[in-house]
């Protein structure tokens, strides 16, 4: 199992555990997430692309994977995801360029399959 699969597996396990605990904080987070990524003045796709750029800047690999997947499922093209990644690189400088390597691996998995 590679790193991308392992992140997805761990995220699903944690999600189920938090739901099983009936965590009010996690429930509120899920409500906020649904509200955040609903279509509004910006589409879900565009919001996911914003999240891709932010994920690169903060070096959250799990976030990169999730938001690249969600962007693609929302209709984002590989080029759109790449440009969101590039915004993250510009905002985060040299460190974000290094962090983006993982995002490129995720993109290869999502768009090559």
Sign of the torsion angle spanned by Cα atoms 55, 60, 62, 64: positive
Reported as a single tens digit per residue, the pLDDT across 15-67 is 999 999 999 999 999 999 999 999 999 999 999 999 999 999 999 999 999 99
Buried b or exposed e, range 20-54, using 16+ CB within 10 angstroms: eeeeeeeeeeeeeeeeebeeeeeebbbbbbbbbbb
Question: Could you give the CA distance from residue 60 to residue 67 in angstroms, rounded to a whole number?
Answer: 11
Buried b or exposed e, range 67-82, using 16+ CB within 10 angstroms: bbbbbbebebeeebbb
Question: Could you give the CA distance from residue 61 to residue 3 in angstroms, rounded to a whole number?
Answer: 10
Record the pTM.
0.93
Residue 1: per-residue pLDDT: 73
Architecture of the CATH domain 3-112 = Up-down Bundle (1.20)
Sorted by where each begins, the domain ranges of the chain are 3-112
- How far separated are the first and last CA of the chain, in Å rounded? 17
């Amino acid at each position: 199992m590679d790193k991308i699969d392992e992140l997805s597996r761990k995220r699903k396990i944690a999600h189920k555990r938090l739901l099983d605990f009936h965590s009010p904080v996690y429930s509120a987070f899920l409500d906020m997430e649904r509200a955040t990524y609903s279509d509004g003045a910006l589409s879900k796709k565009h919001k996911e692309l914003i999240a891709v750029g932010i994920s690169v800047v903060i070096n959250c690999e799990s976030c990169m994977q999730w938001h690249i997947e969600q962007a693609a499922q929302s209709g984002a093209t590989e080029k759109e995801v790449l440009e969101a990644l590039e915004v993250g690189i510009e905002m985060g400088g040299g460190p974000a360029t290094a962090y983006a390597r993982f995002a490129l691996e995720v993109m290869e998995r999502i768009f090559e399959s």
